[in-house]
């Protein structure tokens, strides 16, 4: 059976020692009173819930899966899932970072991020049920009417109801401009929706008495394409004006997808047959409203792979220390045993350190982004709010694509550490690989994220936001550029920062002449950008570790942090040179290939 220990020490290091979040909170009236002790106490309890309640259900939930009653359209999730959700609600966890005016606890997004990392390590399939609700909450806070907020938000915040996002249809995934679901206006101001949706995560279950579906559909006079999409809130049970439940709405689960992983989550096919809904936001502006939820989901998906990377690493490390196999090439390391533990072998260490580095880099990036979200929403300085919002927009596709791609590498590497045992279900490693695989696909495939980063977020404003991130790198380089002990961390990011400007300009010029050049370079470009971001964060973590060691701190945690950073810069960061070369190879070898693909 697998193991899991919440990585509280590393979370505290990133929050308190690297980013000094409580100092940042002092400029945010909503969070000014939040102190380190409060954060640590909340996360310690969150870790107990994740490790003690949802983690033991992970393998059994994967084995059992969800069951659909085709006569009633009701779905039963795996044994124990509903009871775990009830404990989650009783503990107040759904309300952690929600606004107090809707019953929330008002804690920073940064805390919620750490909670969900641990939940994803423990049981990604289970975590998707409350996770999607939080996205629905964010969309309604941003675009809902006062009446919608009053009806739905208190129940979503408390966890009494859950939410979904209903986007995808059988004939269209990412290209939502092709969707066909219709919304007919009614005399009372409501709408009747008709259509079919697929791949709806947590689309049906028995955790709660109501499910709040956010549905994309077209009005009768809507223009074609994405400019003609509207967003509607369509509850499973209609909601009366006083908040009580009315009759069943005809929005039903007609099938469950048979998937590679996340078997414990109900990925539903949804039939909408004249269901009553209300408009969220303005007519034909639904995509903008839904993007609030989608962007929250993209950060959440990155967090899913962070969680799986962490738990896979912990199990692989424990196994490598215990499993005896062969002798070290440099001589016996365990002479009292018949063979050495496999952790003595260089390539096993490479696999372990790859997972560790990708977990720690991802954790730093996730906390950095959620701190930016807190600043964008609550900081007293308008410029800080604006700059933070722009940086989050720039980093979101990197969080989604870079962390999930790295999660694929890391979970596979950790399974490899187990050898043949990694391929066997009982150890849990193959489930981490399977569960992670969807993270590279949904909420916009990683190629879509790459096109978004390069096409919209970088070239779309002539690199202005990228330059803002470059200033952060430049400030760190200026601060530590003469510190010889920091040279191994500073020099690589200084060099790549300079290269990034030339690289971006070159790809942009080529793309202006032929748009396929952007498509050909985008995936490689995102990974280069991802390494620049990780490199900056690892340099900041190394900076703190070196200062602590110089001050006489003998905690081995800091030596471990330095060793991980050194490995990252020596073995993973150099990938950027190859990526820039393949990006510059252009589109011709991809597009002039009709004979090869005949």
Give 161's strand partners: 210
3-state secondary structure of 183: strand
Instruction: Tally Cβ neighbours within 10 Å of residue 3.
Output: 13
SS3 sequence, 289-334?
A: HHHHHHHHHHHHHHHHHHHHHHHHHHHHHHHHHHCECCCCCCCCCC
**Token pair listed for 196:** 């079919």
Name the residue with tokens 């920091």. Answer: 486
How far is CA 217 from each of CA 225, 231, 284, rounded to the nearest angstrom? 11, 6, 9
Is residue 90 part of the annotated active site? The answer reads: no
Axis crossing angle, helix 36-49 with helix 109-143, rounded to the nearest 10: 90
Say how many CA atoms lie within 13 Å of 112 toward its Cβ.
27
476's tokens: 């760190």
With vertex at residue 394, the alpha carbon angle to CA 218 and CA 452, rounded to the nearest 5 degrees, is 45
DSSP H or E segment with residue 60: helix 58-64
Calculate ∠ Cα 331-335-336, nearest 5°. 170
Q: Which DSSP category does 104 fall into?
A: -
From the centroid of its chain, how far is CA 71? 35
What residues contact 540, with CB distance under 8 A and at least 6 apart? 18, 364, 476
Which member of 117, 390, 430, 443 is catalytic?
Answer: 443
Q: Which residues contact 227 (CB under 8 A, 6 or more apart)?
A: 177, 284
Distances (CA, A) of 433 to 50, 260, 345, 424, 437: 20, 10, 23, 12, 6
Beta pairing, strands 267-280 & 251-256: antiparallel
Q: What is the Rg, in whole angstroms, of the alpha carbon atoms belonging to the chain?
A: 24
Query: How far is Cα 319 from Cα 252, in angstroms, rounded to an integer?
Result: 45
Q: What separation in angstroms does the CA of 156 have from each of 75, 83, 131, 272, 593?
A: 20, 18, 11, 22, 51
Q: Are 397 and 449 spatial neighbours (Cβ–Cβ below 8 Å)?
A: yes
Cβ neighbours of 289 (radius 10 Å): 24
Alpha carbons 533 and 287: distance in angstroms, whole number: 29
Retrieve residue 342's tokens: 């496999």
Nearest CA to 492 among 410, 577, 369? 577
The label of the residue with tokens 């009580």 reads 244
**Catalytic positions:** 443
């Amino acid at each position: 059976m697998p193991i899991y220990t919440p990585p509280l020490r590393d979370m505290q290091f990133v929050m308190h020692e690297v980013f000094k979040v409580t100092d940042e909170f002092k400029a945010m009236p909503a969070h000014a009173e939040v102190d380190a002790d409060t954060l640590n106490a909340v996360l310690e309890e969150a870790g107990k819930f994740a490790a003690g309640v949802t983690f033991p259900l992970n393998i059994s939930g994967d084995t059992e899966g969800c069951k659909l009653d085709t006569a009633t359209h009701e779905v039963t999730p795996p044994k124990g899932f509903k009871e775990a959700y009830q404990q989650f609600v009783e503990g107040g966890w759904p309300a952690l970072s929600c606004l107090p005016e809707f019953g929330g606890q008002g804690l920073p997004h940064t805390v919620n991020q750490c909670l969900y990392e641990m939940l994803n390590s423990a049981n990604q399939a289970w975590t998707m049920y409350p996770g999607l609700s939080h996205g629905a909450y964010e969309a309604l806070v941003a675009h809902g009417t006062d009446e919608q907020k009053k009806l739905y938000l208190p129940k979503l915040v408390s966890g009494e109801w859950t939410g979904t996002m209903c986007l995808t249809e059988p004939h269209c995934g990412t290209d939502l401009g092709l969707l066909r679901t219709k919304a007919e206006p009614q005399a009372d101001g409501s709408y009747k929706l008709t259509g079919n949706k697929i791949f709806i995560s947590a689309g049906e279950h028995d955790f709660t008495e109501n499910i709040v579906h956010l549905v994309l559909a077209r009005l009768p006079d809507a223009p074609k394409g994405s400019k003609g999409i509207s967003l509607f809130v369509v509850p499973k049970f209609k909601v009366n004006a006083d908040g009580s439940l009315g009759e069943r709405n005809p929005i039903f689960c007609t099938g469950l997808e048979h998937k590679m992983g996340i078997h414990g989550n109900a990925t539903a096919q949804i039939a909408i047959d004249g269901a009553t809904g209300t408009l969220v936001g303005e007519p034909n502006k639904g995509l903008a409203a839904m993007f609030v939820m989608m962007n929250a989901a993209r950060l959440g998906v990155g967090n899913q792979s962070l969680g799986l990377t962490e738990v896979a690493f912990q199990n692989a490390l424990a196994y490598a220390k215990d499993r005896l196999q062969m002798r070290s090439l440099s001589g016996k390391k365990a002479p009292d045993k018949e063979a050495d533990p496999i952790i003595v072998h260089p390539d096993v260490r490479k696999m372990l350190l790859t997972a560790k580095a990708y977990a720690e880099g991802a954790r730093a990036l996730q906390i950095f982004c959620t701190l930016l979200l807190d600043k964008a929403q609550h900081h007293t300085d308008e410029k800080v709010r604006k700059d933070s919002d722009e940086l989050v927009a720039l980093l979101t596709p990197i969080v989604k694509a870079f962390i999930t791609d790295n999660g694929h590498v890391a979970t596979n590497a950790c399974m490899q550490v187990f050898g043949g045992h990694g391929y066997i279900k009982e150890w849990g490693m193959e489930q981490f690989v399977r569960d992670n695989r969807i993270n590279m696909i949904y909420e916009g495939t990683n190629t879509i994220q790459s096109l978004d980063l390069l096409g919209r977020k970088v070239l779309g404003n002539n690199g202005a936001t990228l330059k803002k991130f470059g200033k952060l790198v430049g400030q760190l380089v200026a601060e530590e550029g003469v510190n010889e002990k920091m040279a191994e961390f500073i020099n690589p990011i200084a060099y790549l920062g300079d290269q990034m400007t030339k690289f971006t300009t070159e790809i942009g010029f080529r793309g202006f002449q032929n748009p396929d050049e952007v498509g050909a370079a985008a995936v490689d470009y995102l990974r280069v950008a991802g390494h620049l971001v990780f490199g900056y964060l690892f340099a900041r973590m190394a900076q703190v570790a070196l200062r602590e060691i110089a001050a006489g701190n003998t905690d081995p945690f800091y030596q471990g942090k330095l060793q991980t950073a050194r490995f990252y810069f020596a073995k993973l960061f150099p990938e950027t040179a190859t990526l820039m070369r393949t990006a510059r190879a252009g589109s011709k070898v991809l597009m002039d290939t009709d004979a090869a693909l005949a």
